[in-house]
Structure 1
Amino acid sequence: MKRRTRRSLPASLTAAVLLVLCVLVAVAAIQRLTGNQPWLDYRAVATAVHNARWTDLVPALISAAVALAGLVLLWAALLPGKRRILPLTGDPDSGADTTGYRSALRAAATDVDGVEQARLKTGSRKVKVRVKTARTRPDGLSDAVRAAVESRLDHISPARRPAVSVRVRATREAS
């Protein structure tokens, strides 16, 4: 189970642009059918497009912008999103939410005596823990935090067990 985020932002932007274009065309068609002067004159647009040359600057810039937007949308559709469900060992349909996974590991790090604050970066292969302590001598603290995080990883049992690296920063210096 590898659920990934949805591509809501590119889809919303594309839908908004298409909606604006559809509304413009619908308003122009309704105005033309009712006999009013349309905002968007079809003949003026058709004449401008017919008289445009591919070597002119404006059509080249518009074509480049549309091609770039298409490539960006294609890139957003093809690249995988950020993983939201972490697969666990055992049942193939079991998984843990990545935010809960990260907060459980952070809680394990902050439960160690002497740790004031812990920050985590989780990846598929590595968990990086940065710890702040008020101790003047943080000897052995990194080993204790690593053991606590690895113990929590044993309880969670992810399908791919990441390596744990711990960095300790003392806020006070020894005199």
Structure 2
Amino acid sequence: MKRRPRRSLPAVLVALVVLAGCVLAATVAVQLIIGEKPWISYDSVASALHGVRWSDPLPALAGGGAALLGLILLVSAVVPGRPTVLPLDGSPDSGASRRSYRSTLRTAASTVDGVSGAKLKVKRRKVVSVVTTGRTNTAGLADAVRAAVEHRLAQIGPATVPAVRVRVKATRSPS
């Protein structure tokens, strides 16, 4: 089970652009029907476009921009994002959300004696933990945190076990 994120941002942007175009066309059509002066005159748009040649830079730039926008939207729809649910060993339908996975591992890192705070990032193939301590002597603290996080990973049982990297920040310097 590897649920992927939805591609809602590109879909919302395209929907808003199409909606704005439809609202503008409907407004101009209603203005023409009731006999008011439209916001955008069909005659002025048609005469401006009639004067443009294919060899001019404006159509090439507009076409290139539309093609680039289409390519960006296509790539954002095809390229998979980070999984929102990380697969676990065992049954094929078991998984843990990325958020709960991160908070469980952060709690394991925080419970080590001498750690005052922990920040944790779950990346594709590794877990990076940055712990802060009030100790002046940080020898062995990184190994203790790594062991605690790896023990919690063994309890969770992910399908692929990530490498654990720990960095220790001391708030006080040795005198």
TM-score, normalised relative to structure 1: 0.93
1:74, distance to aligned residue in structure 2 (A)? 1.2
SS at match of 1:44: helix
Counterpart residue number, 1:96: 96
1:7, distance to aligned residue in structure 2 (A)? 1.4
Deviation per residue, 1:7-59 (Å, 9 max, x gap): 11111111111111111111122222233322222232222222211222322
Q: CA RMSD in A?
A: 1.4
SS at match of 1:89: coil
Counterpart residue number, 1:48: 48
Counterpart residue number, 1:27: 27
Counterpart residue number, 1:160: 160
CA distance in 1, matches of 2:156, 2:82: 20
Determine what percentage of the aligned residue pairs are the same residue: 56
Q: Confirm whether residue 137 of structure 1 aligns to residue 137 of structure 2.
A: yes
Counterpart residue number, 1:79: 79
- Paired AA for residue 39 in structure 1: W
Deviation per residue, 1:140-175 (Å, 9 max, x gap): 111111111011101111100011111212222222
SS at match of 2:82: coil
Unaligned stretches of 5+ residues in structure 2: none
Q: Provide the aligned length of Structure 1 versus Structure 2.
A: 175
CA distance in 2, matches of 1:109, 1:51: 69
Mapped contact 1:129–1:166 kept (Cα < 8 A): yes
Mapped contact 1:124–1:160 kept (Cα < 8 A): no
SS at match of 1:92: coil
Mapped contact 1:121–1:129 kept (Cα < 8 A): yes
SS at match of 1:91: coil
SS at match of 1:12: helix
CA distance in 2, matches of 1:79, 1:49: 37
1:126, distance to aligned residue in structure 2 (A)? 1.0
Counterpart residue number, 1:116: 116
- Paired AA for residue 25 in structure 2: V
1:92, distance to aligned residue in structure 2 (A)? 0.4
TM-score, normalised relative to structure 2: 0.93
